[in-house]
Amino acid sequence: MSGKLYLVPTPIGNLGDVSRRSVDILERVDFIAAEDTRVTAKLLNHLGLKKPMVIYHRHNCARAGGAIVARLLGGEACALVTDAGTPGISDPGEKLVALCAANGVEAEAIPGPCALTVALSVSGLSTRRFTFEGFLPVKKKNRTIHLNQLDGEERTMVFYEAPHKLAGTLRDLADAFGPERRLVVCRELTKLHEEVWRTTLGEAWERYTAQEPRGEFVLVVEGCVPTEEAPDEEGALMRVEQLRRTGLSLKAASSQAAQEFGMQKRRLYELALDK
């Protein structure tokens, strides 16, 4: 085990979710890069492990990242862990992996807990196609741009949010997608007070403006239902007339125009006859 970065997921609540392979790697690496060493120390304690740690979080990632990569280039092995979940998903892990890639250092991801996939899989909404939106921007202007980009989004959308910003985010989502849009609120996943609430954006906004949200939240929002465009019957009839002037029979002209306008041949023929 040398010169490699291991991305080790940690439980998002239930300590039983740390895998055997993750424990094995934490045991064997030379050092651990942790978002908060106090949080990771608790986990290591629980696992009966002791390991040197360095801090790697969003405020020091530029400096700390360089130092970690230098050690990896020197042949050491490092496990990157965050406070909870999979490193790189809505946390600075992404930057360290990019730095490793830029310096020719190998990175290996261990599968494991991630609030995104737990919420999505329990949501009951379509998982065939989805988009992970993470945390919405805090600044109003950037948030509006982001939400405008999601206008007409048909895929299921997954958002992370902190409890103190939840009500405001629900209001903005309800404004953007309508209060009737289906939502699954996934709260405190894998923990004692886990709750999966299948509701709507409007209803959830009402609840969390009346009652202070507690715990950690993932919001899974249904994509918009694709609207079937009504065929342009007027345009199709005009096209029939145009084709008739070239000498085609009513039947042949209706058939060709129907094909061009995505209409049923019979329906257009009957409309043309009525005219």
Q: Which residues bind ligand SAM (CB under 6 A)?
A: 12-13, 82, 84-86, 89-91, 114-116, 160-162, 186, 188-191, 216-218
Rounded least distance, CB 130 to ligand SAM, Å: 15
CB-facing half-sphere around the CA of 232: CA atoms within 13 A: 9
User: Which H/E stretch holds residue 40?
Assistant: helix 37-47
Rounded least distance, CB 187 to ligand SAM, Å: 6
Helix intervals (H) in 108-213: 115-123, 140-149, 166-177, 201-210
Residue closer to ligand SAM (CB basis): 160 or 269: 160
Closest CA to 10 of 157, 37, 214: 37
What strands lie across the sheet with 156-161, from one edge to the other?
130-134, 156-161, 217-221, 182-187, 195-200
Residue closer to ligand SAM (CB basis): 218 or 236: 218
Q: Give the tokens for residue 85.
A: 């979940």
Residue closer to ligand SAM (CB basis): 217 or 269: 217
Residue closer to ligand SAM (CB basis): 44 or 136: 136
Rounded least distance, CB 239 to ligand SAM, Å: 53
**Which DSSP letter does residue 128 get?**
S
Residue closer to ligand SAM (CB basis): 211 or 227: 211
Rounded least distance, CB 222 to ligand SAM, Å: 18
Residue closer to ligand SAM (CB basis): 108 or 154: 108
Give the SS3 label for residue 56.
Answer: coil
| Euclidean distance between CA atoms 34 and 268, whole angstroms | 67
Which residue number is nearest to ligand SAM in terms of Cβ? 85
Q: How many CB atoms lie within 10 A of CB 189?
A: 22
Residue closer to ligand SAM (CB basis): 135 or 251: 135
Rounded least distance, CB 205 to ligand SAM, Å: 17
The beta strand positions in the chain, using DSSP E, are 4-7, 31-34, 53-55, 77-81, 106-109, 130-134, 156-161, 182-187, 195-200, 217-221
Residue closer to ligand SAM (CB basis): 76 or 83: 83
Rounded least distance, CB 218 to ligand SAM, Å: 4
| Euclidean distance between CA atoms 9 and 30, whole angstroms | 17
Tally helices (H) and strands (E) across the chain.
Answer: 11, 10
Rounded least distance, CB 105 to ligand SAM, Å: 21
| Euclidean distance between CA atoms 15 and 266, whole angstroms | 64
Rounded least distance, CB 78 to ligand SAM, Å: 18
